[in-house]
Amino acid sequence: MHIVHTIAELRERLSPFKRPAFVPTMGNLHDGHIALVKQAKPLGDVTVSSIFVNRLQFAPNEDFDSYPRTLDADAERLEAAGCNVLFAPREKDLYPEPQTYKVHPSSDLSSILEGHFRPGFFIGVSTVVLKLFSCVYAGMPTGVAAFGKKDYQQVLVVRRMVQQFALPIDILAGETQRAEDGLALSSRNAYLNPVERLEAAQLAKALRALGESAKASSTPDLPALEAQAMQALARRGWKPDYLTVRRRDDLLPPQGPLAGQPLVVLGAAKLGNTRLIDNLEI
C-alpha cells in the first residue's frame, strides 16, 4: 500500500487507473471501516482510502482537538484489508488557504435531525467530501465511494450532492457493523468508560423497541411513542436529542398508514460526555 500526503502525489499514483473505489474516513478505524474497504474493493480497479479529521464539520465546542488520531495503526489495518493507496493529507495539503467556497446542501434534508443539533455540520461534510472526490476522481470516467449506514443522514446528503452535481460516482452504503451486544461501531466509542460502554447498547435496544411499537399499529401516534422512548432513555441517565421514525428516502415524518412504507428509526443521545448515533431500518 502506498501512503501519499499531497493531492499531486495522489493523482500521480492513481493516473494509471480508471475506476477508483474510495472509502473516506477520519481515521481511528474500526471493523465498520474495514468492512467498507472490503465491500468497495471488487467494484473498482484501485482501492483508495483517506484519513483526514475535517475541521469544517466540527463546531467550536466539539471534539476536533481530542478526536483520536491513530495513523500508523490505521495504515496497517487498511493494508491488511487490501487497500492500495492511503491518502493522508495534512490540513495545509487539503486546505492550503481558507476554504471560503463551501457546499450548502438543501436545508430540507440538512437542517433536520443531525443538522438541527449540529448546525453547519453537513456544510462541512459536503465540502470536504466534494473536495476529496475532486482529488480522487480527477480525470476519471467513473468511480465508486463507500459510506456507512450508521451515518444514515450523511449518506443521503452525499447521494443528493452526487446527483445534483452529475458526478460519475456510484455511492455504496455499507450496513452498520455492531458489537456483540448490538452497539453500533464508532470511533467515538473509545470515549466511553467501562460502565458507559455496558450502558451504550441501550441506544440500539431503544431504537428496536420504538420500531416494534410503531409497527404494532397501522396508524400509531408516533410523536407520543417517540416521546416515551426518549423519556425511557433519559431515566437511564442519557440526554437524548431525538429518537424518531422517518421515511428512508427523505427523513421526513411518515404520512398515513405505515404499512408498506420503507422507514428508518433514528436516534442520537449523549451518554456521559459521549454523543452516540444509531439507526434501524424497518
So what's the pLDDT on residue 217? 86
CB-count burial class (<10 Å; 0-12, 13-18, 19+) for 150: buried
Q: What CATH number belongs to 2-174?
A: 3.40.50.620
Nearest CA to 27 among 86, 110, 96, 84? 86
The whole-number pLDDT of residue 202 equals: 98
Residue 269's pLDDT band (cuts 50, 70, 90): very high
pLDDT at 8: 97
Grid coordinates given for 107? 436545508
Whether 187-281 and 2-174 are alike in CATH topology: the answer is: no
What's phi and psi for 202, nearest 5 deg? -65, -25
- pLDDT at residue 23 tops 90: yes
Topology classification of domain 187-281: Pantoate--beta-alanine Ligase; Chain: A,domain 2 (3.30.1300)
Sorted by where each begins, the domain ranges of the chain are 2-174, 187-281
Contact criterion met (CB below 8 Å) for 251 and 112: yes
Catalytic residue, from 2, 5, 30, 33: name it. Answer: 33
The question of whether 33 is a catalytic residue gets the answer: yes
- For the record, the C-alpha cell of 71 comes out as 495513523
| Residues 193-217: tens digit of each pLDDT | 999 999 999 999 999 999 999 999 8
pLDDT for residue 218 is more than 90: no
Q: Taking a C-beta distance cutoff of 8 angstroms, is the pair 15, 1 a contact?
A: no
**What's the pLDDT at 27?**
96
Q: Region 229-239: what's the mean pLDDT?
A: 98
| Rg of the chain in Å (alpha carbons) | 19
